[in-house]
Amino acid sequence: MWHSNTDLASISAWLSSHAREGGKIAIITHTKPDGDAVGSSTAAARALNFVHPGAAECWYFGSLPPWLDLVNTGVPRRILDTQGLPSDAESPTAALIVDTGSSPQLDRAMPWLQSRAVRAAIVDHHAHGDANLASRLFVDTSAASVCLPVAELCRCILALPSAAALPVEVAEPLYLGLATDTGWFKYSSVSSRVLRLAAELIDAGARPNKLYEMIEQQEKPPRIRLLARALSSLELFEHGKVAVMSLTRADFAAAGAEQSDAGGFIDYPQTIASVRVGALLVEADESTAETPKTKISLRSKSAGRPEDGVNVNVIAQQFGGGGHIAAAGARAATSISDVKPRIVKALAEQIAARGL
Ligand SMILES: [Mn+2]
């Protein structure tokens, strides 16, 4: 079952005793790490290394964000795509997995993780995961960002009275994860708990404007050109309540952009007043005429609580994917032109059923 079987103090005690005995800990997060993944893994590694120098290293794989070096400075790091998995001699002896518990999301690390569940812990905030991956699980699906539980983990590791006492090197990546997973404090997941932690992290020395510029003002021209193509593909259905954008591989080529450059585009149609739910359909890199593949991203908007909007997790599941109530995705083995009417129909049905 995908739920906590221990608490953060116990995971902290286990990691600390492992490091104290000379063990090494790989901190692993999901493929294509985002702000929450890099922020939480960097913070946990720095907290452990603060007490036990050299004990923790971060593993990353999948396309990496352009700001990774700016955030993850000074942390021992392994990039699995280029460096591969470690040899037995240099292999860490334990694993802390953050911001995912999903085997597909851990793709490149799976051959290493598969035999190591006994010496692995997961701290996550997603609704679904593979409980067999780790013997220690802490899952808080009410957390807007995994940095909420990871901040508490860091506080325990460093034996501090509050998050406000964290070293700035730990506080800043936590703030980053918290900010990026809540759309810089604007999603429906923002709560007093989120803002209290943000305030404590600022007290610890995190500088919001510096972090915003570091992450959000690093665009390169191909991504902006791709955005122009995505926006011009916008179609509205159901009296403007459903927004659909699509990007083909030809769009990526014309913009000189890569697949990862489309990240965050799904948020743009949400700025239209009438839109309740949006979809971005992207022709996947590996797509061919014979075996088409389409990546589906879904976002829903609610006036108040996320449960008042369209549950896009349910719709993503119909296409073999999943996620959260307000943000989900899937990968369909079919073309954009085939997926689009099916997605629009599924979204229209949800809107009608909910009287939105
Ligand atoms: Mn997250």
- Rounded distance between C-alpha atoms, residue 110 and residue 336, angstroms: 30
CA 202 to ligand 1 center in whole angstroms: 20
* 37 sits in which H/E element: helix 35-51
CA of 146 to the centre of ligand 1 (A): 5
Using the mean position of ligand 1's atoms as its centre, give its distance from the Cα of residue 105 in Å: 12
pLDDT score of 219? 87
Which run of H or of E encompasses 38? helix 35-51
What is the pLDDT at residue 304? 66
Per-residue model confidence (pLDDT) at position 261 = 92
Buried b (16+ CB within 10 A) or exposed e, 312-347: bbebbeebebbbbbbbbbbbbeebbeebbeebbebb
User: What distance in angstroms lies between residue 276's CA and the mean position of ligand 1's atoms?
Assistant: 23
What spacing in Å lies between the alpha carbon of 17 and ligand 1's midpoint?
27
Q: Which residues pair with 60 in a beta bridge?
A: 79
The CA 147 to ligand 1 mean position distance, Å, reads 8
| 8 Å CB contact between 42 and 76 | no
Distance of CA 341 to the CA centre of its chain: 28
CA of 227 to the centre of ligand 1 (A): 24
351 CA to centre of ligand 1 in angstroms: 27
Give the distance (Å) from ligand 1 centre to CA of residue 254.
32
Intervals of the chain under pLDDT 50: none
Two structure tokens written together for 304: 């108040």
pLDDT for 48? 98
- 328 CB-near residues (< 8 Å, 6+ apart): 297, 298, 312, 313, 315, 316, 317, 321, 322
Q: Ligand 1 centroid vs 39 CA: distance in angstroms? A: 10
Whole-number Å distance, alpha carbon 181 to ligand 1 midpoint, is 6
What is the spatial distance between Cα 115 and Cα 133, in angstroms, rounded to a whole number?
9
Cα–Cα distance between 310 and 302 in angstroms, integer? 8
Q: How far is the CA of 34 from the centre of ligand 1 (A)?
A: 8
Q: How far is ligand 1, taken at its centre, from the CA of residue 97, in Å?
A: 12
In which element (H, E) is residue 46 found?
A: helix 35-51
The encoded tokens of residue 180 equal 């990026």
Spatial contact of 228 and 247, defined as CB atoms under 8 Å apart: no
